[in-house]
Amino acid sequence: MTLNEINTKLKVLNSKFIDTEFLPCDNPVINIKYDENLKNFLEYVIHWRGPEEFIKSEHNVNEAEHTLRVFNRDKEPDPNDIKQGLIPCSHLDSALRTLAEKYNLIKRLFKNESYNENGLYQIKLCVGGEWTTVVVDDYSLVTSSQSNELWILILEKALAKVFDCYYNLTCINLSDFFLTLTGCPS
């Protein structure tokens, strides 16, 4: 199905998109197929949330869906907007901060730059040397956000899907992130 067909179907069903290849459950966070002991890595229950649940409007909590956006219209991404996530990935944070300096390198990864109320996003990543479209939903592990921008959360989720789980992002080196995000070896 095309993106428009999927969005139309979701509107008819009055439902949000859920990525069945990367379900919002424990396995995408720490895939225990690598090591059974990893399931005890986190000391708390994992709670997935949609952006409308954790992004607050400046005016009214009920208006959050009106302020949700992938990219802010007012300003370019700021490297200081990128904060450590649930699982610390300093190499990913460094790569995203560097790319935030060159706004166009981030924006070109998104097939659609506007907020999708159905929660469906397509990201272009260089996987194995070829540009691949990665489809993800907007369910996230965060409880709050630095801004009302979703690009960081969506991009991190697409990378976690490519590398099999969020925990694996801690093992990827900086040059591999740059290759995946830009297509250029570093």
Q: Minimal CA–CA distance to 171: which of 40, 48, 45, 38?
A: 38
Q: Name the β-bridge partners of 125.
A: 132
Strand (E) or helix (H) holding 105: helix 103-107
Nearest to 50 by CA among 30, 24, 20: 24
* Amino acid 44: pLDDT: 60
Mean pLDDT by 10 residues, the chain (186 residues): 85 90 82 62 71 65 60 70 70 86 88 89 94 93 64 91 89 91 86
Question: Do the Cβ atoms of 174 and 181 come closer than 8 Å?
Answer: no
Rounded Cα distance, 112 and 51, in Å: 17
Distance CA 61, CA 33 (A): 40
Task: Give the global pTM.
Answer: 0.84
81, 157 contact by CB (below 8 A) = no
pLDDT of res. 33: 65
Domain ranges of the chain: 3-182
Note the pLDDT of residue 124.
Answer: 97
Q: How far apart are CA 160 and CA 68, in angstroms?
A: 22
